Amino acid sequence: MKRIIFLVDMNAFFIACEMSRNISLKGKPAAVAGDPKNRSGIILAANYDARKFNIKTTMLVHEAKKRCPGIILVPPDHDFYRRKSKDVMNILSRYTPLIQQNSIDEAWLDLTGCIRLFGSYQEIAKNIMNSIMEELDLWCSIGISENKFLAKMASERKKPLGITEIWLKDVKEKVWPLKVREMYGIGKQTEKKLNQMGVFTIGDIAHCKKELLRDSFGKYGDDLHRLSNGIDTSPVETCPEYDNKSISRSTTLSKDITDLDMAKAILLELAEEVGAEAREKEYTGKTVSITIKYNDFNTITRQKTINPTFLTKEIYRTGAELLFENWNIRKPVRLIGIGISNLSTKTFTQLSVFDIIEDDTKRKKEEKLERTMDSIRNRYGRDMIKRATTLSEDET
């Protein structure tokens, strides 16, 4: 049976969320933005009115203001965006249980076998788009194909509110003429290296000898050759946000980074969320792990065993050590994650007579402090209280 795969991609998601609760932003150039260290000071998402002035994601705010002096800038509210993202996923789950969320604003759906229940795949796509518009006041584009890669490529072809099909039989006509940078997964450095090899289009990659690609890119070269020919057999795998085996958080960065201090600040924000959920559920973990995904889509995971904990300070400290040990300034990073696993109900290792009692007192004070912070954030919002190391210069 031929697979039917959708990629649902929300259009200008962050600012679209803001417009859904503030109609005064509609019809005006607007963007979500803030300071570089906290991922603010740069444009995180611009609406289509702002894009008419060539305002782009990751553009510095002062440059955006030069191009469009009247642009309205809105500070990010990531908790709100996560809630809206969950609402989108709930709509998608009406059509299939096989949903793989690729980021906060996009997901693959495997609709193979669902056609008889909900009509043709074109009808399903239109119903999904209309439901998201009517219920959430958000826009999306949908790519349709028989595999995840081509569905993603199709979703990029028409924005906003586009429904596009690219099947394996269409690759030669619709995919091969595109520049290499338009291929999903290829960043600036890979593009530069391919261009230096005389490879300028996706078709050039498809016709390139696999041995040459492998010599230049290692195992990734095989992936480039396979995907450029439209071949992708990877399944749509459900990714639960939480199960009782681990608690983790990750974020795809708005801009690739090589700055370790910036990475550590982002890691601390993620560790705050991991620790807060662990404390809420009364779980401690004895394994801390980090994930680093580079801009060439290679990913590494590193972990370390510690005494069971749910304290943000201890989770972050271990994660920061792993980050420092594995940081490569020559490889730009596009995703960072941290988590704890080997969970159990709250128990801390009993101090021996050789341990200093003062350490246990400090730990209890830290737990009391972090639970107080949790309480304030739950009541007034996550941005109400922050650790000093995560503050930008303006906030300081």
Q: What confidence score (pLDDT) does residue 362 get?
A: 66
State mean pLDDT over 56-69: 90
Residue 282 φ/ψ, nearest 5 degrees: 60, 40
Mean local confidence (pLDDT), 351-361: 42
Question: Is the pLDDT reported for residue 40 higher than 80?
Answer: no
Let me know: does 161 contact 141? Beta carbons within 8 Å.
Answer: yes
Beta bridge partners of 252: 335
Paired with 74 in beta bridges are 32
Give the per-residue pLDDT at 377: 65
* CA–CA separation, 116 and 281 (whole Å): 41
Structure letter (DSSP) for residue 352 = P
User: Given this chain, do its domains 171-228 and 246-390 carry the same CATH topology?
Assistant: no
What pLDDT sits at residue 113? 83
Across the beta sheet with 72-74, the strand order is 40-46, 30-35, 72-74
User: What is the pLDDT, as a whole number, of residue 240?
Assistant: 43
Q: What is the mean pLDDT of the chain?
A: 86
Burial class (CB in 10 A: 0-12, 13-18, 19+), 199: buried
Residue-wise DSSP of 90-117: HHHTTT-S-EEEEETTEEEEE-TT-HHH
Residue with tokens 């990029």: 156
Which residue out of 18, 63, 106, 280 is catalytically annotated? 106
Please tell me which of 197-206, 337-346, 376-385 the model is most confident about, judged by mean pLDDT.
197-206
pLDDT number for residue 37: 47
What's the CA gap between 271 and 314, in Å, rounded?
A: 9
Task: List, in order, residues 6 or more apart from 21 with CB less than 8 Å away.
Answer: 80
* Residue of 147, 164, 76, 54 lying closest to 109 (CA atoms): 147
Give the mean model confidence (pLDDT) for residues 67-72: 95
154 or 276, higher pLDDT: 154
Contact 274, 339 (CB under 8 A): yes
Does position 264 have pLDDT exceeding 70, yes or no?
Answer: yes
Q: What is the pLDDT of residues 155-195, one digit of tens each?
A: 999 999 999 999 999 999 999 999 999 999 888 788 999 99
Better pLDDT: 77 or 174: 174
pLDDT at residue 350 tops 50: no
Q: What is the pLDDT of residue 299?
A: 86
Where residue 241 falls among pLDDT bands split at 50, 70, 90?
A: very low
Q: What is the pLDDT of residue 94?
A: 94
| Residues with Cβ within 8 Å of residue 149, at least 6 apart in sequence | 184, 227, 230, 232
**Gap between the Cα atoms of 140 and 263, Å rounded:** 30
Fold of 246-390: Dna Ligase; domain 1 (3.30.1490)
Write down how long the chain is.
Answer: 396
Q: Which of 252, 255, 249, 253 is nearest to 268 (CA)?
A: 249
Homologous superfamily of the 1-166 domain (CATH): Reverse transcriptase/Diguanylate cyclase domain (3.30.70.270)
pLDDT value of residue 305: 86
Residue 290 scores a pLDDT above 90: yes
pLDDT value, residue 279: 87
CA distance 84 to 387: 26
User: Tens of pLDDT along 294-340?
Assistant: 888 788 999 988 888 899 999 999 999 999 999 988 889 988 999 99
Q: In the chain, what are the domain boundaries?
A: 1-166, 171-228, 246-390
Spatial neighbors of 162 by CB under 8 A, at least 6 apart, are 141, 142, 155
Please give the average per-residue pLDDT across 113-132, as a whole number: 90
Whether pLDDT at 390 is above 90: no
- CATH fold for domain 171-228: DNA polymerase; domain 1 (1.10.150)
Give residue 173's pLDDT: 97
**In which residue are the tokens 């890691």 written?**
267
Which carries the bigger pLDDT value, residue 282 or residue 349?
282
Beginning with the edge strand found earlier in the chain, give each strand of the sheet holding 99-103 in spatial order: 99-103, 106-110, 5-10, 140-145, 163-165
Catalytic residue check, 106: yes
Amino acid at 170: D
Where is pLDDT greater, at 72 or 119?
72
Helical ranges in 240-287 per DSSP H: 260-281
